[in-house]
Amino acid sequence: MKKLIASVLVLAMLVSVVSLLPFAATADELEPITLTVFRGDPGDQPAEDNKIYKLIEEKFGVKFQFEFLAGNLDETLGLKIFGQDYPDLFDGGNSADLIISGGALVNLLDYISPEKTPRLWAHIEPQKARLIEKDENGNDVLYIIPNYGLTDGDQIVNEVNGPAFFIQKQVLAWAGYPQIHTLNEYFDLIERFIAENPTDKNGTPYIGFDILCEDWRHFCLINPVQHLMGRPNDGEVLIDVSTNDFHTETFIDKPYAKAYYKKLNEEFQKGLISRDTFVMNYDQYIAQLSSGTVLGMFDQTWDFGNATAALKDAGMDENTYVALGLVYDPEYVDGKVIEEHYVNGTVPNVRRGFGISVTSPYAERIVAMWEEMLSNEWQLLFNWGIEGEDYYVENGRLLMTEEQYNNRNDNTWKLQNRALAFWESSPKKQGWIMDGPYAGNAWDPANQPEIVLGLMNAYDQDFLSHYGFSKFADFVNPPIELAPYGEAWQIDYTPVDVEHTDFLNIQDQRLPELIMCAPEEFDAKWDAFVEEITPSATAFGDYMQKAVLEEAAKVLGNE
């Protein structure tokens, strides 16, 4: 009966939404179309009977044909650009600059304006100085509306969703719940745990530290140095925000970077790092994490969400991870005490998400669909699901039972009941619901205060209680103010694409060699690495210094 009532309510709600559609009077009058979609990440096909996709089809006349990344991202995008084999909706992932510079995407400003699409315009307007760029002719252009980071209200930080050094909760529990702040403390704890617990309960040996190196995810190998220096994610440069010129330098070729890779070399010699880590692909990495045998790694929370879900599904909560904001021990940085700032203020995910290809005949219809999907009604469907089925309302608060919330961590359930393959790369509301009957609730159920605390599993509640914390974000310092340039990884590298590619390729090849080499060879190999990478590092660093200043000037000039 509850499901029947819920379905009637949703139908009534969607009928009211559809009546607003700018491209047709009713959904029945829309020509049915199938949009081809490319996602720049691996993924799974949604179930054919997925309830949210069925609602989209019924009300917008749209079906989707998804292609997920299989293989190297840059090579895949290069082939698509060369053959102009473009999908209607094109997500270039972390290499979106390739499809932008390749001319694959339409300028969304031809379709978006305060008059034609008030919701979309209001969505981007607060960050338009960062989002709207100039093309080679000086025209305003916007190719991709960020899929994340355009938030309403105060920033919500209940967990670290970005970069961190991760460690299994069981390791901290075994050690008596210590506070771990430095690189040496981290590896010392993992070493001691493995010395007393070499295998899991099934007799499988533990892996002390994994390093993912595949394709664009080589940030797990490259980026830790800047964070050990206390800074949030600026990609492949370290920026001193205390200087007027935002002094920018590549960090991978500096003496403070040598300290990190020498430490990894030491841990490799002790057997804490597997030689296989440098050749495994992403799926193999996720499988290792999902087994519960990997004690630590550097990564970003969103990157291994499937492994976290698998561990929770298996009841292995003690094998899930805590994000730590580690910094260098003073001995590595001339006695300096580094303050940790891993978490930035709200960061628009510039050039990340769907663009519409120049070959798609459906650009206007896609934009109109996005416009309607930014209504509160559709955002509730994408975020919370169907009322009475996936959540319930009590005294104006959006709530979930334990079963409803646990469903959201079940991969099979998600493929049947959420439209993630489409929604994750589409424009979306985040933060707090600011208007309507549910104002004051969070858009993301994981950020809803009653759910964060009330539905946290017993293991995690007990774990946090030992630290006196209420949420896992308490393991790191609060967010710092976002710098005027944003985060430097968002800057377009294509003007120095050759130098940047060379810069990355050298790191991908030489850093694993440095980590695995005989200790007595390390210093000589490091010097050779620095000599080899200096030309491309210099060209890339000089470009980034200029680009950071230009990005900062754009934003500061509009304040």
Query: What pLDDT sits at residue 64?
Result: 98
Q: Is residue 7 situated within a structural domain?
A: yes
Give one DSSP letter per residue of 451-507, joined into a string: HHHHSS-HHHHHHHHTTT-SSGGGGSPPPBPPPTT--GGGS--GGGHHHHHHHHHHH
Query: What pLDDT sits at residue 558?
Result: 62
Residues 43, 48, 49, 53, CA torsion sign: positive
Pairing of strands 62-68, 33-39: parallel
Dihedral of CA atoms 377, 382, 387, 391 in degrees, nearest 10, equals: -140
Do both 73 and 215 map to the same domain? no
Do both 359 and 488 map to the same domain? no
Token readout for 490 is 């968002």
Do both 205 and 330 map to the same domain? yes
Do both 39 and 60 map to the same domain? yes
Query: What pLDDT sits at residue 27?
Result: 54
Q: Is residue 448 situated within a structural domain?
A: no
Do both 142 and 86 map to the same domain? yes
Do both 419 and 478 map to the same domain? no
For the domain that residue 294 is a member of, what is the CATH number?
3.40.190.10
Dihedral of CA atoms 451, 422, 134, 485 in degrees, nearest 10, equals: 30
Q: Is residue 141 situated within a structural domain?
A: yes
Q: Is residue 404 situated within a structural domain?
A: no
Q: Is residue 223 situated within a structural domain?
A: yes
Measured between its terminal Cα atoms, the distance across the chain in Å is 54
Do both 248 and 233 map to the same domain? yes
Residues 6+ apart with CB under 8 A from 426: 147, 353, 354, 370, 373
Distance CA 274, CA 268 (A): 7
Which one of 404, 437, 470 terminates a domain? 437
Question: Of 547, 537, 542, 543, which is closest to residue 486 (Cα–Cα)?
Answer: 547
Distance CA 298, CA 314 (A): 23
Do both 335 and 380 map to the same domain? no
- Quote the domain boundaries for residue 505: 163-342+459-556
Do both 91 and 137 map to the same domain? yes
Residue with tokens 């300096």: 336
Query: What pLDDT sits at residue 28?
Result: 61
Q: Is residue 157 situated within a structural domain?
A: no
Number of separate domains in the chain:
2
Do both 478 and 330 map to the same domain? yes
Which one of 402, 437, 472 terminates a domain? 437
Q: Is residue 396 situated within a structural domain?
A: no
Q: Is residue 65 situated within a structural domain?
A: yes
Do both 335 and 206 map to the same domain? yes
Do both 301 and 362 map to the same domain? no
pLDDT tens string for the chain (559 positions)? 333 334 434 444 444 444 334 444 355 678 999 999 999 999 999 999 999 999 999 999 999 999 999 989 999 999 999 999 999 999 999 899 999 999 999 999 999 999 999 999 999 999 999 999 999 899 999 999 999 999 999 999 999 999 999 999 999 999 999 999 999 999 999 999 999 999 999 999 999 999 999 988 999 999 999 999 999 999 999 999 999 999 999 999 999 999 999 999 999 999 999 999 999 999 999 999 999 999 999 999 999 999 999 999 899 999 999 999 999 999 999 999 999 999 998 899 999 999 999 999 999 999 999 999 999 999 999 999 999 999 999 999 999 999 999 898 888 999 999 999 999 999 999 999 999 999 999 999 999 999 988 889 999 999 999 999 999 999 999 999 999 999 999 998 889 999 999 999 999 999 999 999 999 999 999 999 999 999 999 999 999 999 999 999 988 876 5
Q: What sections of 238-304 are H helices per DSSP?
A: 255-269, 282-291
Pairing of strands 151-152, 430-431: parallel
Query: What pLDDT sits at residue 1?
Result: 38
